[in-house]
């Protein structure tokens, strides 16, 4: 196990700055997820930690040791790739033992370490099979096993579940978490899937256009996004965002959005004073919109006049696609399983204003107003 420290790490390809001033320090045994859209620099960052890409600037330390300039095998890390990277002419045992043989370990030790890893992964009965005889999930377990047998200080995983079907992906998420709890190894995991990030990481690091946007515990980042990018990136359906005009009524803030006046709870906070008479962005999570009055929140519910565009019944919940009154702005509400609403209905939904998010329309940064 080891602490991984990246300080102002940058990577440039000619005139393209792929990663800029990436700074992150893990704790020993932590599971950190790098998440963001395609092309944001997360895989490049992982490859720099692994030694597969040279850094342009900054420093990388593993276990307190500066690893910049070291070749990959000197860094004592193991990487699990998106495409498994298994040798087709070798059986499972040979694939898992390959790295140990390169290190010229005794045959008995190799056998013991491979069997131990195979037992952890539940693939003891597959050791004599070739990769072409395995399912996608089994191949992924072999790729994990090849990393586990090396007993590295750090595991690096680059979108290891992207090539398997949705049902198996759920099972493998749980499997990887179980393995991590068993090995207690520091792990850096790359994904573009926000569900993987939210369910697997002790902390998540959200990247966009080569930069770190926000780092924090999954629920902390979900509930307190630092800007509109994070607000919309995390959450499915994503956060509803509208631009309104802030006014003051009896000392309280009122946000005018189309034909709707949303009264913000409490007295106007000092953070909102500079925005009075100016545009402001309000964000509403779908789960903070209700078809009926949420119990105990009567004093902070705002009524929004809407037209129902579509009703999506998903079994455990229902999604309402709505058009905000007096505008073409659309929003999504996540409600309970049952509703009598139909497409074309005119109705009202209730917003829990205490759960609303406010953002600066110029910088897109969150405003700490409540």
Q: Are 358 and 218 in contact (CB under 8 A)?
A: no
Q: Are 310 and 324 in contact (CB under 8 A)?
A: no
Q: What is the mean pLDDT of each run of 10 residues along the chain (370 residues)?
A: 92 95 96 95 96 96 94 90 86 92 90 90 91 88 88 90 81 88 92 92 96 96 96 94 93 89 89 94 94 71 92 91 88 88 92 93 92
Selection from 357, 221, 233, 369 nearest residue 284 by Cα: 357
Q: Are 264 and 353 in contact (CB under 8 A)?
A: yes
Same topology for domains 4-233 and 240-359, yes or no? no
Tokens coding 118: 């195979």
Q: Are 168 and 137 in contact (CB under 8 A)?
A: yes
How far from 149 is each of 31, 41, 85, 136, CA to CA, in Å?
19, 29, 16, 20
Q: Are 185 and 149 in contact (CB under 8 A)?
A: no
* pLDDT at residue 1 in the model: 59
Q: Order of strands across the sheet with 31-35?
A: 77-80, 154-158, 186-191, 31-35, 203-208, 211-216
* pLDDT at residue 295 in the model: 63
How far from 35 is each of 184, 203, 367, CA to CA, in Å?
21, 11, 24
> Residue 63 in 3-state DSSP?
coil
> Residue 361 in 3-state DSSP?
coil
Q: Are 322 and 190 in contact (CB under 8 A)?
A: no
Q: How many residues does the chain have?
A: 370
Which backbone phi and psi does 216 adopt, to 5 degrees? 175, 175
Q: Are 298 and 351 in contact (CB under 8 A)?
A: no
How far from 236 is each of 51, 240, 285, 286, CA to CA, in Å?
35, 11, 9, 9
Selection from 293, 346, 352, 343 nearest residue 319 by Cα: 343
* pLDDT at residue 291 in the model: 87
DSSP-H helix ranges across the chain: 42-50, 92-102, 107-121, 136-148, 166-183, 194-200, 218-223, 228-233
CATH superfamily of 240-359: Nucleic acid-binding proteins (2.40.50.140)
Q: Which residue has the tokens 């096993």?
A: 145
Show me where the domains of the chain are located. 4-233, 240-359
* 369 exposure class (CB count in 10 Å sphere: 0-12, 13-18, 19+): middle
- 270: number of Cβ within 10 Å: 8
* pLDDT at residue 82 in the model: 80
* pLDDT at residue 102 in the model: 86
Q: Are 304 and 260 in contact (CB under 8 A)?
A: yes
Selection from 84, 72, 76 nearest residue 145 by Cα: 84
- 134: number of Cβ within 10 Å: 18
Q: Which CATH number fits domain 4-233: 3.50.50.60, 3.40.50.300, 1.10.10.920, 3.40.1110.10?
A: 3.40.50.300
């Amino acid at each position: 196990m080891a602490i991984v420290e990246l300080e102002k790490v940058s990577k440039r390809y000619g005139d393209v700055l792929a990663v800029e001033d990436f700074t992150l320090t893990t704790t020993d045994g932590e599971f950190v997820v790098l998440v963001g859209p395609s092309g944001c620099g997360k895989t490049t960052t992982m490859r720099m930690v692994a030694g597969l890409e040279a850094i342009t600037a900054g420093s990388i330390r593993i276990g307190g040791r500066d690893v910049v300039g070291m070749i990959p095998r000197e860094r004592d890390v193991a990487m699990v790739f998106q495409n498994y990277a298994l040798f087709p002419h070798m059986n499972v045992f040979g694939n898992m033992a390959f790295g140990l043989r390169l290190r010229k370990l005794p045959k008995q030790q190799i056998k013991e370490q491979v069997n131990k890893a195979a037992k952890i992964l539940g693939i003891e009965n597959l050791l004599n099979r070739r990769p072409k005889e395995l399912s996608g999930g089994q191949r992924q377990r072999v790729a994990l096993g090849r990393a586990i047998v090396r007993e590295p200080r750090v595991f690096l995983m680059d979108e290891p579940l992207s090539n398997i079907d949705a049902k198996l992906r759920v099972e493998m998420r749980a499997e990887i978490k179980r393995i991590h709890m068993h090995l207690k190894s520091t792990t850096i995991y790359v994904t573009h899937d926000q569900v993987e990030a939210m369910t697997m990481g002790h902390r998540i690091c959200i990247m966009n256009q080569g930069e770190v946007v926000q780092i924090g515990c999954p629920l902390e980042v979900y509930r307190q996004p630092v800007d509109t990018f994070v607000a919309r990136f995390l959450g499915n359906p994503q956060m509803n965002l509208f631009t309104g005009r802030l006014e003051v009524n009896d000392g309280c803030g009122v946000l005018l959005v189309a034909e709707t006046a949303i009264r913000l709870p409490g007295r106007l906070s000092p953070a909102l004073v500079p925005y009075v008479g100016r545009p402001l962005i309000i964000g509403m999570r779908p789960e903070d919109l209700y078809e009926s009055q949420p119990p105990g929140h009567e004093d902070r519910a705002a009524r929004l006049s809407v037209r129902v565009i579509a009703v999506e019944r998903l079994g455990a919940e229902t999604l309402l696609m709505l058009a905000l009154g007096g505008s073409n702005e659309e929003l999504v509400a996540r409600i309970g399983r049952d509703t009598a609403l139909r497409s074309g209905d005119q109705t009202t939904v209730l917003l829990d204003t205490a759960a609303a998010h406010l953002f600066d329309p110029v910088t897109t940064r969150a405003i700490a107003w409540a």
